[in-house]
Chain A
Amino acid sequence: AQSVAQPEDQVNVAEGNPLTVKCTYSVSGNPYLFWYVQYPNRGLQFLLKYITGDNLVKGSYGFEAEFNKSQTSFHLKKPSALVSDSALYFCAVRGGLTTSGTYKYIFGTGTRLKVLA
């Protein structure tokens, strides 16, 4: 069964330092992977996705993610963190095909990023 794990509940980083939010996955076949961000009292916003192609994917707000097939990981990164990046981050993976002929999405439990001034 497809699954995704975010091993850290919280990540603290100083403003201006690089940040990494970790995600590992388990799927059969090729993975379709996503990152979303949730600001307080808001819905999730799409940041980036990996479907195929280059292992380094660039997304919104200066974020990027590195797909590593051998380590089954899809870590979110940013070269220089901002205080405004403080939020809850979710990794998601395409789940199995349903009887409706559509795919579900499986979300991780989320990682809270705190960028300290």
Chain B
Amino acid sequence: NAGVTQTPKFQVLKTGQSMTLQCAQDMNHEYMSWYRQDPGMGLRLIHYSVGAGITDQGEVPNGYNVSRSTTEDFPLRLLSAAPSQTSVYFCASSLTGRYGNSPLHFGNGTRLTVT
């Protein structure tokens, strides 16, 4: 099993550009989520999904969109990149989010720089 796969690994954008960060999991997990990791701030939840066709906002959703058309894929779109979105982005999935007892499986991250 590949687990959680994120692409690309690195990306440099200019302010105002848009892009999509890809995330795919092959574990048939119901729950998928996106986090950003910034120094001294831990991980902050951007968006999450409890199943195909269902998404919801996390702690820091502004400037990002998501969709979940299949169980496997959960892309994150940056609509108009800003320097404040420079960060490392992680996709994570778990079997279910219904009980809060399922460990998260993380991808290896996308390091994004916005200039």
Contacts and interface: CB of A to CB of B under 8 A. Distances in A.
Interface of A: 32, 34, 36, 41-46, 49, 51, 90, 94-95, 98-105, 107-110
Contact of B100 (A43, A100, A103): A103
21 contacts: A32-B100, A34-B103, A43-B90, A43-B92, A44-B90, A44-B92, A44-B106, A46-B103, A49-B103, A94-B101, A100-B50, A101-B50, A101-B98, A102-B97, A102-B98, A103-B100, A104-B48, A105-B100, A105-B104, A107-B42, A109-B41
Contacts of A100: 48, 50, 54, 56, 97
B109 A42 contact: yes
Given A103-B97, A109-B40, A98 B107 contact: no
B4 interface: yes
Contacts of B97: 100, 102-104
Given A43-B106, A95-B100, 15 more contacts: A42-B109, A44-B104, A44-B106, A49-B101, A90-B43, A94-B100, A94-B101, A99-B56, A102-B48, A102-B96, A102-B97, A104-B48, A104-B58, A105-B45, A109-B41
B105 interface: yes
Chain B interface extent, by class: 20 to 34
Contacts of A110: 42
| CB-based closest 9 A-B pairs | A43-B106, A103-B100, A102-B97, A94-B100, A46-B103, A107-B43, A109-B42, A107-B42, A44-B106
